[in-house]
Amino acid sequence: MLAPPALAEGLEARGEWSAYEKGHGQLPPMGWNSWNAFYSDVDEEKVLASAQIIVDSGLASRGYRYINIDDGWWLKRSQPDGRMIIRTATFPSAAGKSGRTSFRPLTDRLHAMGLKAGIYSDIGRNSCGQTFGHGGKNNPAGTLEEREVGLFGHIDQDIALYFDEWGFDFIKVDGCGIRGMGADNPNVASGIYRTFEPLIDFNSIARTDVRAVQALYQHVADALERSNPDGDFVFSICLWGSADVRSWAHDVGNLSRTSEDIGPQWGRMLHNLDSAARRALYAQPGSWNDPDMLFVGTGDFDAHHLVEARSHFSLWAILNAPLIIGYDLREATPDLLAILGNEQIIALNQDAAGNQAVLAFDTDDLQIYVKTLADGGKAVAIFNRTAAPLNATLDAAHLKFVDKAPVQLTDLWSGESLSFSGEQPLALAPHETRVFRASGTRQLPGGLYLSEMPGSVNVAEDGIVHPEPDPSIHRTIISWQGTHGAGEPPRYAGWGGARADRAPYGQHLQIAGRPFSNGIGVLANSRLEVRNKNFRRFSAMVGIDDSSADTAQRVRFELYGDGELVAQTSWIGFGQQAQTLSADVEGRSIVELVSRTADPTERPVPVTWGDAALLQ
């Protein structure tokens, strides 16, 4: 056995899968939420009508299960006991004796329909409606204390009430109360609400108390576990990509919002899509990227824009986003229900391997997303982001299939089949996404590149020392701001995170002039955990990536099997040829990939695990 090297913080091999596996998040949750359809103007009739349509239309049998109430349900927090009171004017079945309201009659009804029930809260003292206005509809009432309906100071009490007593199965926890209740909020200044010194500065990670935010959400996770010994819950973190949530949500909850709110506009959909699209390695069964709820049915995705509606739905499905309908289903046309109910597309989303699609081709105009399925087959989405028709070419190589053998494609929207070798031209209408299942001859028979199995890779440490906003995300007009101000800056810390088939800052993988079309790009001082089911060997060609701006550093690559060092390289400098790192990993269920810099005080360089694969 090799002697383990000196340990650096977070790089110590653990021999275990550390990402979140509690709750019911093994597959992306599917369901309905009131917000995009009704905003805070939500009531029991609307919720039950939507639930009934989900059942009657057959959507429930296709997997849509969670019926989630968003902002607007609460009336106040009674004093001095702190018990939450439901707005019975809008949720009449909640009226109980002596003012002790309960959602139990509603959750019982939903459960009796074969559905699950979701509730919503905020991690601060106040709600988003109270923080940012939202027209004031159904804002909490009463004294200053009574209006403090958020979880802050009441986490254990509220989670016990919502899950033990009221019987909910899902909670979305927003973060407005820890973001916007500083002394400069006009409602705070005028004494309507108490000051909450913001823990989140949306525009500055350095002014955000990341650890304090994480600790609050961890407290909720702990309470959820206590209140749900059967593990039947989903914990949805809604921090809109702030507070460096990308780096820790996979330790704390099942879903994590990657961006600000989606809107029913094409540009906004692109923004939310982009916030998750390059983060395939940050999603795995148990904890998923959440680019926000669907807007299929409304605005640019309504019954007059079925091409756009199909694109939005296909992209969310292939990215393993939660499929949460945000539409007043009472208005649904058969065409829209057919989109939401497309079993083939849903099957991609619910595929057991849990691999978020990886970008095989990426430009501002056209993208090709490829997802490796549990049966070893592929799904591919070719997406025309532009408003003009576009001719694309799909290469066998995009699918990691060999050029010479035939590739079979089945169009999941039209049902049409086609076959090609080498390359296939495809004509795309404006905004169209063509989605296929594909089979062919794999370039790597009997093995899987790690970039084909992102759902089995957990980025335990990604080497980022100073989180930076991501400049690659489409910036659009924010509907609630219009063109006031200076427009949208890059947002969402995570730039430089680990990437499948790319270097951390988006360049192609390359070591000393040698390109790699397969591999993992990540900063040094990182540790990746990889689940190994039945493979015997790990193999990669490793070195400092040519995208590094720093040519002075040296890096060592280490490979662990179930916590034991099984192979390592010597110290490698910039421009040095890729070294082979391979080892027998038979019977080792967790393989860990560690790279470390010789000088841990330096800002780590990008490194490449070229052709990194698990092999028979």
What minimum distance in Å lies between the beta carbon of 179 and ligand GAL? 9
Residue 417 and residue 315 in contact, taking contact as beta carbons nearer than 8 Å:
no
**583 SS3 class:** strand
When the beta carbons of 272 and 349 are compared against ligand GAL, the nearer one is 272
Annotated catalytic residue 261 = yes
When the beta carbons of 322 and 440 are compared against ligand GAL, the nearer one is 322
When the beta carbons of 155 and 176 are compared against ligand GAL, the nearer one is 176
Please give the DSSP secondary-structure letter assigned to residue 525.
S
Residue type, 191: G
What minimum distance in Å lies between the beta carbon of 283 and ligand GAL? 19
CB-based burial of residue 150 (10 Å sphere; 0-12 exposed, 13-18 middle, 19+ buried)?
A: buried
Q: Which residue is nearest to ligand GAL (CB)?
A: 128
What minimum distance in Å lies between the beta carbon of 100 and ligand GAL? 26
The bridge status of strand 323-325 relative to strand 288-290 is: unpaired
Give the residue among 258, 261, 387 at the shortest CA–CA distance from 320: 258
Q: Please identify which of the residues 122, 261, 501, 545 carries the catalytic annotation.
A: 261
What minimum distance in Å lies between the beta carbon of 386 and ligand GAL? 28
**107 SS3 class:** helix
What minimum distance in Å lies between the beta carbon of 168 and ligand GAL? 16
Annotated catalytic residue 174 = yes
User: Backbone dihedral region of 420: left (phi > 0), alpha (psi from -120 to 50 degrees) or beta?
Assistant: beta
Please give the DSSP secondary-structure letter assigned to residue 353.
T
When the beta carbons of 196 and 538 are compared against ligand GAL, the nearer one is 196
44-56 vs 104-112: helix crossing angle, rounded to 10: 10
When the beta carbons of 261 and 546 are compared against ligand GAL, the nearer one is 261
When the beta carbons of 126 and 608 are compared against ligand GAL, the nearer one is 126
As a three-state string, the secondary structure of 189-212 is HCCCCCCCCCCCCCCCCCCCCHHH
Question: CB-based contacts of 502: which residues, under 8 Å, 6+ apart?
Answer: 278, 359, 508, 509, 521
When the beta carbons of 408 and 479 are compared against ligand GAL, the nearer one is 479
What minimum distance in Å lies between the beta carbon of 220 and ligand GAL? 16
Q: Pull the structure tokens for residue 391.
A: 């001719």
The residue ranges that bind ligand GAL (CB under 6 A) are 35, 70-71, 128-129, 134, 174, 176, 238, 240, 261
What minimum distance in Å lies between the beta carbon of 276 and ligand GAL? 15
Q: How many Cα atoms occupy the beta-carbon half-sphere of 64 within 13 Å?
A: 28
What minimum distance in Å lies between the beta carbon of 70 and ligand GAL? 5
Backbone angles phi, psi at 614, to 5 degrees: -100, 135
* d(C-alpha 329, C-alpha 186), whole Å: 37
CB-based burial of residue 293 (10 Å sphere; 0-12 exposed, 13-18 middle, 19+ buried)?
A: buried
Residue 597 and residue 525 in contact, taking contact as beta carbons nearer than 8 Å:
yes
When the beta carbons of 126 and 510 are compared against ligand GAL, the nearer one is 126
* d(C-alpha 454, C-alpha 120), whole Å: 30
Q: Please identify which of the residues 158, 174, 290, 292 carries the catalytic annotation.
A: 174
Provide the annotated active-site residues.
Answer: 174, 261
